[in-house]
Structure 1
Amino acid sequence: MLLAAPHASAATKESDALADCLYENTTNADRDAMVQWAYVTIGKTRAAREVQTIPSAKTKAVEANAQKVLTNLVMKRCGKPAMKVLLKDPKNGLQDTLGSLAMKLINEEAQKRSSPLLSLTITDLLRP
């Protein structure tokens, strides 16, 4: 599972619909697993490794758990939109879906934990 590997396609309405279904049908434990997956995926980047290196064994365990969670969600709760993604874009559809899902989860976490230091307004930024 890769968060953002380069490819030519853009997310389709089908992959966005599957991401919405996955997001709406996650339990708290599912969300934790998928946030951890997004975290270790971002943790593979050079910039993130400069801050903290995540052990390979931990990364593999998190990815294996996320795969189980994702399989359960697709098979039990989001089969219909998953089939549409498979038919529309079998090569990149799931990858696009995971990117959209990760962004939803990251946005949710960022909104909950925004630092008071980041409570700038547009007016603050425009002041000379």
Structure 2
Amino acid sequence: MSFTQAIVAFGLPSILVLIAGYGGYKLLSLIVPNEPSPVKTSRFEAGNIPTGEGRLWFPLQYYGYLLIYTSLEPILVLLFTVASVPFYLSSLLFRNILIIISSFIAILYPILVYSVNQINMILNWELRR
């Protein structure tokens, strides 16, 4: 496939999609009224004006587990893909994989330490009323 065919195959549809999206945006901006109503600009749109303090303090007891999952899961997916490489065939490949794994561990270690500290905070496990 030549360069011109690649531009026509990938560039032209993307340009057409961008033009269609911008045209739709402009069309909707002409149709929809642009003067907001006083109800929309009021402070409490739902009509429920808050009074007093909230009923329950939001517990953050599982925040540390959430941090561990959100930081560990993508790195584990990448490590599983790295583990499928036959690194025993070449010492250069083994060195590169070792660099990748050690950089993942270096990135992950501070996050894990912070997460474990958040899990061990007794204050987060209490429900305040």
Whether TM exceeds 0.5 here: the answer is no
Higher gyration radius (CA): 2
Could you state the TM-score of these two structures normalised by the residue count of structure 2? 0.28
User: 1 or 2 for the larger relative contact order (CA 8 Å, sep ≥6)?
Assistant: 1
Could you state the TM-score of these two structures normalised by the residue count of structure 1? 0.29
